[in-house]
Structure 1
Amino acid sequence: MSQGTRPEAHELTYETPGGEPVRFQARFGPDRPLPDRGPTLGRMVRLGRGWVVRQYRLPARSRGDRRAREALEREVNAAVAVERAHGRGPHAGLFLRVVGHDLDAEEPFVLYEPPPRGAPRLTEARLSGRRFDEAARQLVRAVRLWEQAGQVCRTLAPDTVWWHDDGIVIGEPYGAVPVGHPREPFGQAPWASPEQLAGTGHCDPRDDLWSAARLLYAALAGQPGPHAEPPPDLGAYPQLSALRDGRAFAPRAADRRPVAELLELWNEPDPGPAPPPGPARGEYARRVGEKRERLGLGPGPAPRGEEAPGDEPFEVVCPYCLGPVAYDPGALFLPEEQGEYVAFDPASEPVELRRADMLRRAFQLCPNLSGLDEHHLPVPYLTNGRPLTVVTVGGSLTGKTHLLTSMIGEIEENGLEPYGITAEPLNPEWHQRFVRERLQPLRDGRVLPRTASTRFARFADGLLLTSRGRTRPVMFFDLAGEDLESHDEAMRFLAGAGAFLFVVDPLRALRLPELERHRERVGIRERDLGDEAFAAVLSRVPRTAGLMMTPSAVVLNKSDLVRFEPAVASWLMSPPPTDRLPEALRGESEDVYAFLRHHGSRAWLRPFTDSARCTLHFVSATGRGERGGTFPHGVTPRRTLAPLLSLLAMAGMVEETDPWEVGL
C-alpha cells in the first residue's frame, strides 16, 4: 500500500472465525477486479496500526447477483471450517489464514492474511528430492483435510498454491462447495477434472485429488500435460508413483482411490481422522430402535403396507371443527371483495369451463356440529384426494411465518418437481393474497410482521399437490405462539392435524457463546425447558403405544446463526437430495439430533421423542439476519423444502420413495 497518499481511515467491523465481533480503524487500497471471481473485488486493507490483510467483497451494484452471493457464503463457510478445525494445530500453515468476515454488511466481505511475500508458485519452485516429496504429501494432506471438513476446494491451480519455508500454502477457497453438491462447470483444464469442467455428477473430494496430481506433475515436468487424460510419461517420474498407483490421474472420480488410501500408500497417517460417533449419535439410533419395538416393528425399515398413506378409504373431516363433511352442491358460496359470501348454484352456470372455474373459487358452508364460529371450506378441499393439514408449531419469534413463506416460495419456483410433485393453488384468491401479503414482501427484503393472535384458526395458504397420479389438498396453518400455547376450543383442530412442523429457535435452545450477542440484540433468553407451544400441542394429539402417530418434522430454524458449526455447514449449504431420500433424511436427522442434544437440553427434542415418525432438519428461512426491519441483500432460503419433503414422503406423495422408510 503506497505511503505517498495516505488513504482516509474508516471503521471496519467484522466477525472473527471464532464468532467474536471486532472493530478496527481501516485504510483501504484501490479495488482490483478478479477475473476468476465474477463481480467480487479485491483490495488491500491496513487494520489498526499496520496489520495488512486482503479483503474480497461483493460491491453494492452486484447485490442482486445471487450466484456471486452464494459463492462468497460458501467460501466463508469453507475457510472458517478449516480455520476452526486446524488454525491452531500442526496443519495451520497449509492454508491462508482467514481473518474475519461480514456476510450481512452492505457490501459483504471476507478478510485473509496475504500470501507469503516473495513465495514462488509450487509449479515454479523447482523442487526435487525430499522437498518435492514433502510438497506432495502436504498437498494431498490438505485435500484430505478439506474432505474431513465436508468441502471440495475446486481451486487448486498454479496461481493458488505457493511454496514457502519448506511447505506449501494454499490460497483462498473461493470455489469451495460442500461434498455431494451438484457439479457446475468450474475451473480450467487441466487443473480442474473433466467432470468438474463438464458440470456432471456431484462434487467429490477426489476432484481435488485430480487437481493436486496435475499440479505435482506440472511441477516436475515443467508443462501441464494433456487436459483430460493421464500424462503419457508418468513412468518417467518415480516421485509420482504413489499418485499413479492411487489412480489420481484417472479422468473419472469414481476410478480414483479415496484420498485416505492414497495417504496410506505413502505410509502417511490420516491427518485428522473423524472422531468416533459420540453418545448423542448412538442415542438417536437407540431412540429409533425403541420406537420401532413399541410399535411392533423389526429392526429394519418398516414393512410396506398394502396401501400407501393416502390411498386407503377415508372420510373428509373439517380441519377446523373435526366434524365429517362431504361435498354438497347445495351449500356452496362465492366470496365477495368485502369478505361476505353469496350463495352459488353450479347448475345456474351453463358454460362448463366457467362453471369449473367458479367451483375452484367456491366455498362450502361446513355443517359445523361443534358450535364453533361459522366457517367455510374451499370446494377443491372436498373434491380431491385425502386432505393433509400441516401445522407449524413454535413460540413467538421462532420464525414460523418466514419459514412457511419461504417454503411456499420454493414450491412456487417448481421446487417439488424433481420429486414428481406438481402444485397449484387450492383457492386462487387466497393464494394470491398470500403471495401479495407475505411472499412478495419477503422477496423484497422486508421482515414479515408477527402473526396476530386469533380466536379462530384459519389456514394461511393451501395447495393442490399432484403425485403418483393422485391430487391431494394440502393446507398450511401458521398460528401465533401464544395461541398454540392456549387450550381454547379453537385449538381443538390440532387433534386432527395431518402433520406437524416443530420449529426450534437456536437462540432459545442452544448453549453456544457466539449466540449471546444475538440474544441480547433481540431480547431473547436461553431456555432449558423447551418450547411451551411444543408441550401444549403434544398434549392434545391422540397416541398409540404412547407415541403420537402424526408425521412430524423438527426444524432447527435460523441455522444461518450457527452456519460455521461443522455439523450444520455440511447440510445447510447443500440442496435437498433428489435421490436416496430416506437415507439422506436419516443422515440429517441423526446429525441434527446429535447437535441439539450436545448444545441444548433434552426438552427441545421432545417432539422427536414423543412422535412415532419424525425427521430433523437444519433450515434457514431467510439465509441471513435482518437489519433494521429489512434484509439488505434479500433472502436466500436454505433447505426449507427438506422438512416438507419428509412429511410428503411419509404421506406417500414422493415418487420412488417408500413412505414406510421415512421417519422410522
Structure 2
Amino acid sequence: MTGRAVRCPVCADRISWEPGAPVSVWDVENSRYETVRVTALAPEKRADLERLAYRQCPNPSGDTAAHYLPATYADHGEPLVIGLVGAPASGKTHLLTAMIRQIHLDGLGAHGITAAPLDFRRHRDFHDDYVRKFEAGGTLSGTDTGVVEAADILLLRGPTGARPVSFFDVAGEDLEDPEARNRATKFLAGTTAVVFVHGSEDPLDTGRPTPRSENRSFHLAVERLLALPDGARLPAVIAVTKSDRLRYVPPADRWLHRGDERTVDAARIRAESRDVFAYLHHVGAGASLRPFEAFTRCALHFVSASGGDAKPVDRGDPAVRHFPRGFRPTRVLEPLVSILAMTGMIAGAEAERVGAP
C-alpha cells in the first residue's frame, strides 16, 4: 500500500487511500455511481468535485457487497466509527436520530466542536427519513435487518482537528444473531467506540426485585469486541434510554432535571455512572452492565430521545403512534461527549479522566 492506510467502516478491511485515484458521482437518473477522473481538473474544480464524490472501497477480503465512501474520507484525522448496540425496541434508532439532530443544532458548540455532513447524500436521506419525521412527533420504525451501511457520516471539527465520524445503527435481531458471517455486524471489527443502549424499565416495576436478566445483544457484541487486538481498551458508554419514564424516580430524576451539560467534568460523569450502575443493578438488569465490567474505560448515562411515551393516534389502529408532547430530547449528547473525550476529540485533563476506573 503506497497511499494512506485507513480502515473501511463498512467491511472493516484496511485499505490504501491512493492520491489522485478516480472518484465516482451518483447518477440520480440511472441510480448508479459514475466514475470520474479528476487528475486533469484544476485544483479548485477537483476539490469541489471530491467534496461531493465517492470512492469505491476495494474490499480486499471480498466478503462484502460493493460499497462506497466519501471521496474525502481520508483527508482528515483518524476516523471514528461509533456503533449503537442494543436489543430490539431498546430505542437505538430514536437515540441516534435525536443525537444527530442535536449535533446539527450546535449541541457540541460548548465543547468547541462544529459539525457538517461528510456524506451529503447519506445525511440528506437520514434527515428526510428519520429526523423530519421525529420532529413532527412521529415514531420511528426499528432498523431493518441486514443493514450494513453507516446511518450517517459526519465531519466533526474541533481544537484537536477534524475527524470523520460514522454512526452504525444495526437491528437488534442482527446483533443477537450468532452467525459468524453475519454481514450486518461486520462493522464491529473496525469500530472505535460503542454506545450500548438499554431501554429503561417502567418506573412502576423498579421497586420489585427481579432475577438477573439476559442481554444477548450486549453479550455477543462484547465478546466479539474483546476478541479484537486491544479490544478491552475500546471506549464504551452505556445509555439508559426512555429515561423520561424515570423522571420522578431517584436517581434518574436528578440527572434529567439537569438537562444538557456544557462542560466536561469527570467527577460529575463518574457520579452519574454510579447512579446508572445502581439503577440497573436494582432493577435486575445486571447483564446490561457487562460492558462496564469488560472495557477499561466506560461511562454510563440516563438519556431521553423523545421526552415522553408515544400514544396511539387512532384507537382502531394502536400500531400508529405519535408523541403528543412533541419532540423533546434530554441529555442525548452526553454519551457522545463521553466518547469524544475518551477518544481525544475533546482534550484536557478532565477529558482524560472520563470513563477511567
Does the pair score TM above 0.5? yes
Equivalent residue for 2:307?
623
Equivalent residue for 2:14?
324
Change (3 A) 1:543 1:465: same
Equivalent residue for 1:445?
137
CA distance, structure 1, for counterparts of residue 346 and residue 255 of structure 2? 21
Q: What is the correspondence of 1:22-37 to structure 2 with a 5 Å cutoff?
A: none
Residue by residue over 1:237-268, the C-alpha shift from the partner in whole angstroms, topping out at 9 and shown as x without a partner, is: xxxxxxxxxxxxxxxxxxxxxxxxxxxxxxxx
Conserved? CA contact 2:160–2:346, under 8 Å:
no
Q: What is the correspondence of 1:141-290 to structure 2 with a 5 Å cutoff?
A: none
Conserved? CA contact 1:326–1:382, under 8 Å:
no
* Unmatched runs of 5 consecutive residues or more in structure 2: 313-320
Conserved? CA contact 1:420–1:655, under 8 Å:
no
CA distance, structure 2, for counterparts of residue 579 and residue 395 of structure 1? 31
Equivalent residue for 1:653?
345
Equivalent residue for 1:157?
none
Q: Which protein shows a greater Rg?
A: 1
Match of 2:123 among 431, 447, 461: 431
**For 1:322, what is the secondary structure of its paired residue?**
coil
Conserved? CA contact 1:361–1:378, under 8 Å:
yes
Verify: 1:492 aligned to 2:186, yes or no.
yes
Change (3 A) 1:448 1:468: same
Conserved? CA contact 2:98–2:131, under 8 Å:
yes
Conserved? CA contact 1:391–1:497, under 8 Å:
yes
**For 1:414, what is the secondary structure of its paired residue?**
coil
Residue by residue over 1:446-500, the C-alpha shift from the partner in whole angstroms, topping out at 9 and shown as x without a partner, is: 001121111x510000111111241000000011111112233412320220110
> Larger % of strand: which?
2
Change (3 A) 1:366 1:411: same
CA distance, structure 2, for counterparts of residue 317 and residue 621 of structure 1? 31
Equivalent residue for 1:12?
none
Equivalent residue for 2:80?
388
Q: What is the correspondence of 1:74-89 to structure 2 with a 5 Å cutoff?
A: none
CA distance, structure 2, for counterparts of residue 415 and residue 499 of structure 1? 20
Verify: 1:480 aligned to 2:174, yes or no.
no
Equivalent residue for 1:503?
197
> Larger % of helix: which?
1
Code of the aligned partner of 1:474: V
Verify: 1:346 aligned to 2:30, yes or no.
no
Identity level (%):
36
CA distance, structure 2, for counterparts of residue 496 and residue 567 of structure 1? 35
Change (3 A) 1:546 1:345: closer
Q: What is the correspondence of 1:96-111 to structure 2 with a 5 Å cutoff?
A: none
Equivalent residue for 1:402?
94
**For 1:620, what is the secondary structure of its paired residue?**
coil
CA distance, structure 2, for counterparts of residue 651 and residue 641 of structure 1? 15
Instruction: Return 649-658 or 464-473, whichever deviates more.
Output: 649-658
**For 1:359, what is the secondary structure of its paired residue?**
helix
Verify: 1:370 aligned to 2:64, yes or no.
no
Code of the aligned partner of 2:305: A
Conserved? CA contact 1:554–1:617, under 8 Å:
yes
Verify: 1:358 aligned to 2:49, yes or no.
yes
* Unmatched runs of 5 consecutive residues or more in structure 1: 1-313, 517-525
**For 2:154, what is the secondary structure of its paired residue?**
strand
CA distance, structure 1, for counterparts of residue 246 and residue 157 of structure 2? 36
**For 2:323, what is the secondary structure of its paired residue?**
coil
**For 1:464, what is the secondary structure of its paired residue?**
strand
TM-score (norm 2): 0.88
Change (3 A) 1:547 1:348: closer
Code of the aligned partner of 2:262: T
Code of the aligned partner of 1:364: R
**For 1:389, what is the secondary structure of its paired residue?**
strand
Match of 1:540 among 224, 229, 237: 224
| Deviation, structure 1 residue 330 | 2.2
CA distance, structure 2, for counterparts of residue 315 and residue 660 of structure 1? 27
Match of 1:553 among 222, 237, 242: 237
Residue by residue over 1:597-624, the C-alpha shift from the partner in whole angstroms, topping out at 9 and shown as x without a partner, is: 1222421211111111100000011110
Conserved? CA contact 1:581–1:657, under 8 Å:
no
CA distance, structure 1, for counterparts of residue 349 and residue 330 of structure 2? 23
| Deviation, structure 1 residue 528 | 3.6
**For 2:304, what is the secondary structure of its paired residue?**
coil
Q: Larger relative CO (CA 8 A, sep 6+): 1 or 2?
A: 2
Conserved? CA contact 1:393–1:500, under 8 Å:
yes
| Deviation, structure 1 residue 326 | 2.8
Change (3 A) 1:528 1:582: same
Conserved? CA contact 2:151–2:168, under 8 Å:
yes
CA distance, structure 2, for counterparts of residue 403 and residue 584 of structure 1? 22
CA distance, structure 1, for counterparts of residue 57 and residue 40 of structure 2? 22
TM-score (norm 1): 0.49
| Deviation, structure 1 residue 383 | 1.4
Match of 1:634 among 312, 326, 330: 326
Code of the aligned partner of 1:485: E
Code of the aligned partner of 2:102: E
**For 1:452, what is the secondary structure of its paired residue?**
coil
CA distance, structure 1, for counterparts of residue 349 and residue 165 of structure 2? 19
Conserved? CA contact 2:15–2:60, under 8 Å:
no
CA distance, structure 2, for counterparts of residue 592 and residue 600 of structure 1? 12
**For 1:330, what is the secondary structure of its paired residue?**
coil
